[in-house]
Amino acid sequence: MKIRKAELQDFDRIMEMMIDFANSSPYEPQREPEYGDTWVRRLLCSFMAAGCIFLAEHEDKIIGMLIAQIQPDPWLPHVKTMKEVAWWVDPEHRMGSAGYKLLLRYIKYGKALQEADEIQGFTLTNMEQSPDFNLEKRGWAPMERNYLYQG
């Protein structure tokens, strides 16, 4: 198992995983995504420039990713937080170490950015159907919850 930073030639595979990620969402409008190829490629470049895209490889095949973006606070633009956008491991590899190794690499990168004073913090989001990973036991503190109005 190898964790590495994404390169431009990885974009097709990342986009395949993003489709799988969207189709697994509990939020119906995200399923069966139709997207602009150029838009997504530019977006991925922006994540690489101001954030990260880490990939998990097993036997020279990309099986997972963790994508995050550095964002300024809307009210306090000098406060920058790196926010996880997508954390995905192909279902057939979820019982292995790929997800955890992606998380460890993200933590290492986030800490380095904090030490360099490029960000003040970094976040991780779990969807409701995500497996219970007990993030609080691993040093994460809950900050807020999102709710989707359904009537």
The answer to whether residue 32 sits within a structural domain is yes
Higher local confidence (pLDDT), 29 or 128: 29
Assigned domain for 62 exists: yes
Tell whether 144 is covered by a domain: no
Whole-angstrom distance, CA of residue 130 vs CA of residue 126: 6
Q: How does pLDDT run across 44-95, given as a tens digit for each residue?
A: 999 999 999 999 999 999 999 999 999 999 999 999 999 999 999 999 998 8
Report how far apart, in Å, the C-alpha atoms of 50 and of each of 42, 84, 113, 120 are.
Answer: 12, 12, 11, 14
145 located within any domain: no
Q: Does residue 20 form part of some domain?
A: yes
% residues pLDDT > 90 (the chain)? 69
Task: Please state the domain count of the chain.
Answer: 1
> What confidence score (pLDDT) does residue 129 get?
54
Kindly tell me if the per-residue pLDDT of 128 is higher than 80. no
The stretch 96-104 carries a mean pLDDT of 94
User: Alpha-carbon distance 7 to 9, whole Å?
Assistant: 5
Q: Using CA atoms, how far apart are residues 131 and 111, in angstroms rounded to an integer?
A: 25
Q: Domain for residue 147, yes or no?
A: no
List the CATH number of the domain containing 32: 3.40.630.30
User: Domain residues for 36?
Assistant: 2-138
